[in-house]
Amino acid sequence: MAASEARATAALISELCKQFYGLGWVSGTGGGISIRDDRGVWMAPSGVQKERIAPQDVFLLEARWDRAEVIEPPANPALRLSECQPLFFNAFRLRGAGAVIHSHSLWAVLAARVACPDGGAGVFRSRNLEMQKGLRGVGCFDELRVPIIPNTAREAQLRDSMAEAMVAHPDVDAVLVAGHGIYVWGEDWVRAKTQAECLDYLMRAAVEAHRLGLPL
């Protein structure tokens, strides 16, 4: 297998990170993405400019969820494994996800603040919007309920509260983190990206409706 074929998923992560930067999801080195394929779990590094990630900067981990076992490190030994790793593994372990996206979108942060002004746990709700049909099992007239969990000082400390929220809300493929962003997953990267885009739209709609004094 050619080197380019062996790291095709890493190249995809590089491309997607550039797109997410343009959407405002991964600015200031925040956010990230992980994709699982038949070789293992590919993951963007932590604390780097996401729009400048090259395929050789991406980690390849073993697809086992009890620990983070690196199979192929990046070419640059100074790069660090993503702080999101335990949260990504939640989605792989609990939902059998094929891809997970972590966005620092302003709309996600503001939507969580509108739903829970004190930054605590709660639920973001949406109803009667066509873009809900882009989400698993949701129609435009259904009520969408996305769990919100409080933020912590370190990302890895969110692992248990995120897992609890996922178990409590098995019908939704996302968890909001107050004052932080959102984790979205899907059966593959296409589904994860589609749901992340639809949720971002719905959260922007909720924030703008709140600003205009319209009912949510």
Catalytic residue numbers read: 130
Distance CA 12, CA 54 (A): 10
Identify whether the C-beta of residue 182 lies closer than 8 Å to the C-beta of residue 148. Answer: no
Distance CA 117, CA 26 (A): 24
What residue ranges in the chain does DSSP mark as E strands? 32-37, 40-43, 59-61, 70-72, 99-103, 122-127, 143-149, 174-177, 181-186
